[in-house]
């Protein structure tokens, strides 16, 4: 059974999709969430982890002199719980080379990369840009993480067509729904491909 380490900063609806997939979905018998780590003490995703009986770890960035020390602590926690694959699920901070180099790390992004990625392209900014550009479709991307924002190799994507009258909010809602289906499927793909 592959042990997943999941990093979050917020609500954790993608974490929930992964937890559910491990218990009764596509990942059942193949993967389990071994630890959930957050830089935000109040992230609801930590509560979701606890409800599933999964260790929920808050790491306070302020306790470290710089980002490398903070990432070293994340690395230590992931190792402590035996993570064999790391999933970023709404984790908002940049990862330092010491962490990126230590694990295979995946991320989910609410657009069809390489479009609408990079620094500052997150949350509603993404959906606003898609609508402003007049694109006919958006979607979600699961990709490998390297040292640059939204840059590593693409694992899977799912398209979401734009509807007449879409606002950033309505589009965000449909893309998030697509993410919940896509992320577990992408994890299964990398397991089957023996990443």
- Site map for ligand GRF, 29-48, x if CB under 6 A? --------------------
109 counts as catalytic: yes
Contact call for residues 119 and 41 (beta carbons, < 8 A): no
DSSP result, 81-98:
TT-SEEEESS--SPPPHH
Is 152 an interacting residue with respect to ligand GRF (CB under 6 A)? no
Helix axes 124-133, 168-192, angle to 10 degrees: 110
List Cβ neighbours of 71 (8 Å cut-off, separation of 6 or more).
Answer: 95, 96, 98, 99
Q: Given candidates 22, 179, 184, 186, which one binds ligand GRF under the rule CB under 6 A?
A: 179
How far, in Å, are 10, 47, 60, 77, 151 from residue 42 at the CA level? 8, 9, 11, 19, 28
Q: Which of 109, 143, 151, 180 is catalytic?
A: 109
Site for ligand GRF in 85-104 (CB under 6 A): 89-90
Q: Which is nearer to ligand GRF, 73 or 179 (CB)?
A: 179
Binding mask 102-121 for ligand GRF (x = CB under 6 A): ------xxx-----------
Residue nearer to ligand GRF on the CB measure, 96 or 179: 179
Least distance between ligand GRF and beta carbon 194 (Å):
26
Query: Angle, to 10 degrees, between the axis of helix 13-24 and the axis of helix 44-51?
Result: 20
Q: Which residues bind to ligand GRF, rule: CB under 6 A?
A: 10-14, 89-90, 108-110, 176, 179
């Amino acid at each position: 059974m592959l042990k997943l380490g999941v990093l979050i900063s917020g609500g954790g609806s993608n974490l929930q999709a992964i937890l559910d997939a491990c218990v009764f979905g596509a990942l059942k018998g193949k993967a389990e969430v071994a630890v959930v780590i957050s830089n935000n003490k109040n992230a609801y995703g930590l509560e979701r982890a606890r409800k599933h009986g999964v260790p929920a770890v808050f790491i306070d960035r302020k306790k470290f002199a710089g980002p490398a020390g903070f990432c070293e602590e994340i690395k230590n926690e992931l190792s402590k719980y035996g993570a064999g694959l790391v999933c970023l699920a709404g984790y908002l901070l940049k990862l330092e080379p010491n962490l990126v180099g230590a694990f295979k790390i995946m991320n989910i992004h609410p657009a069809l990369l390489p479009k609408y990625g990079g620094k500052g392209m997150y949350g509603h900014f993404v959906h606003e840009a898609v609508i402003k550009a007049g694109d006919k479709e958006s979607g979600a991307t699961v990709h490998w993480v390297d040292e640059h924002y939204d840059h590593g190799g693409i694992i899977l994507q799912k398209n979401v067509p734009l509807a007449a009258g879409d606002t950033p909010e309505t589009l965000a809602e449909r893309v998030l729904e697509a993410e919940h289906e896509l992320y577990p499927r992408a994890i299964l793909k990398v397991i089957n491909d023996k990443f």
